[in-house]
């Protein structure tokens, strides 16, 4: 198969590219960033910015040579004239519409926990994109992963640093359950979905790892066993919200208002299709046995949710 991976140089996209190549497919990386020599030798390259392709007919010309298209593009915050609406809503819609015209397989990476009641434009634009894709008539799969872990992701590296920090800050309002999964497992699932055509049960694919944990327990599972227990400080909800807006304003850390809203509810699949797609159990993320540290101010909530740390 010939597969176009949009966002193929990004965190999720890199794992999708590797899995597709390992399975013998011809891969083209679609990216707004310049191509490196190494990437050029391993895969084809297509310079494309989703927000700049404003017509379905232009996407038709782009997707026509391929058997499947995987869209891994997403933005944590608006940047370089890229808006949430352009990247998360209208571009996926136009892509899916173009794939429908030529009968191409379309895989779109979204997120768990989306709600039209959310005040975050990140969340609302993601949901709008899903709804728009479903109306195109394309052979599509919308993939919603839980929190991802790998050594080379911006967010996952930050979480690992927090896990090993001496001081950890605990938002009092964030109590959702997570199903952390390895990024390479998600990459393999995306590759397998690209090979699966016209399968209605894979229209919406929620995926997560084998263990469901609060953020507090998850960070404890990631923590280096040789380190002493961290100092945990409970942070009121209003302060966490203020901090997230500051981070959004100055574009620092993965903490955002969208993430705060998502952490207030469960971020785990009700029906986890990852084992079915992989044909095996997902890889375990972190240690199996963890004794969570109780939060002094909220011992009844599994130790609270840890989202920030200081060395």
pLDDT at residue number 294: 55
Q: Tell whether the model's pLDDT for residue 299 goes beyond 50.
A: no
For the chain, the distance separating the N- and C-terminal CA atoms, rounded to the nearest angstrom, is 47
Q: Tell whether the model's pLDDT for residue 292 goes beyond 60.
A: no
Lowest mean pLDDT among 32-41, 121-130, 190-199, 245-254: 32-41
Q: What percentage of the chain has pLDDT greater than the value 90?
A: 59
- Joined tokens for residue 254: 């993965």
More confident residue, 294 or 75: 75
Q: Tell whether the model's pLDDT for residue 190 goes beyond 50.
A: yes
- The DSSP line for 263-296 is HTS-BS-SS--HHHHHTSPPPP-S-S---PPPPT
Domains and CATH numbers, the chain: 2-149+179-207 (3.40.50.720), 154-176+211-265+286-310 (no CATH)
- Joined tokens for residue 96: 């899916």
The 3-state DSSP class for residue 46 equals: strand
The Cβ of residue 57 has, within 10 Å, a number of other Cβ atoms equal to 11
pLDDT at residue number 254: 76
pLDDT tens digits, 239-287: 888 988 888 888 777 778 787 888 778 889 999 999 999 999 999 999 8
pLDDT tens digits, 199-210: 999 999 999 999
Whole-angstrom distance, CA of residue 159 vs CA of residue 153: 10
- The DSSP line for 164-205 is T-SEEEEETT---EE--EEHHHHHHHHHHHHH--S-GGGSEE
**Is 288 exposed, middle or buried (CB count within 10 Å of its CB: 0-12, 13-18, 19+)?**
exposed
pLDDT at residue number 214: 86
Short-list 25, 168, 41, CA closest to 107:
25
pLDDT at residue number 205: 98
Q: What's the chain's average pLDDT?
A: 87
Look up the pTM and report it.
0.88
């Amino acid at each position: 198969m010939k597969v176009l991976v949009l966002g193929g140089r990004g965190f999720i996209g890199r794992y999708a590219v590797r899995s597709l190549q390992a399975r013998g497919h011809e891969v083209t990386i679609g990216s707004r960033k310049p191509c490196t020599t190494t990437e050029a030798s391993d895969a084809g390259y297509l310079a494309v910015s989703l927000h700049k392709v404003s017509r379905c007919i232009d996407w038709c010309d782009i997707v026509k040579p391929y058997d499947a298209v995987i869209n891994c593009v997403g933005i944590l915050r608006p940047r370089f004239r890229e808006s949430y609406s352009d990247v998360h809503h209208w571009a996926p819609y136009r892509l899916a519409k173009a794939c429908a015209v030529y009968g191409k397989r379309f895989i779109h990476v979204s997120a768990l926990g989306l709600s039209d009641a959310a005040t975050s434009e990140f969340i609302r634009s993601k949901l709008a994109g899903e709804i728009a894709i479903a109306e195109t008539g394309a052979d599509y799969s919308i993939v919603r992963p839980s929190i991802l872990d790998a050594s080379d992701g911006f967010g996952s590296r930050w979480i690992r640093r927090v896990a090993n920090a001496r001081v950890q800050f605990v938002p009092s309002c964030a109590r959702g359950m997570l199903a952390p999964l390895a990024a390479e497992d998600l990459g393999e699932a995306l590759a397998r979905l690209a090979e699966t055509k016209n399968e209605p049960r894979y229209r919406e694919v929620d995926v997560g790892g084998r263990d469901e944990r609060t953020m507090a327990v998850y960070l404890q599972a990631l923590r280096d066993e040789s380190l002493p227990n961290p100092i945990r400080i409970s942070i009121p909800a209003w302060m966490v919200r203020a901090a997230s807006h500051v981070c959004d304003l100055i574009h620092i850390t993965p903490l955002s208002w969208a993430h705060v809203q998502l952490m207030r509810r469960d971020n785990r699949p009700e029906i986890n299709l990852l084992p079915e797609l992989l044909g095996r159990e997902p890889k375990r993320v972190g240690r199996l046995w963890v004794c969570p540290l109780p939060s002094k101010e909220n011992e009844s909530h599994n130790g609270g949710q840890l989202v920030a740390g200081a060395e």
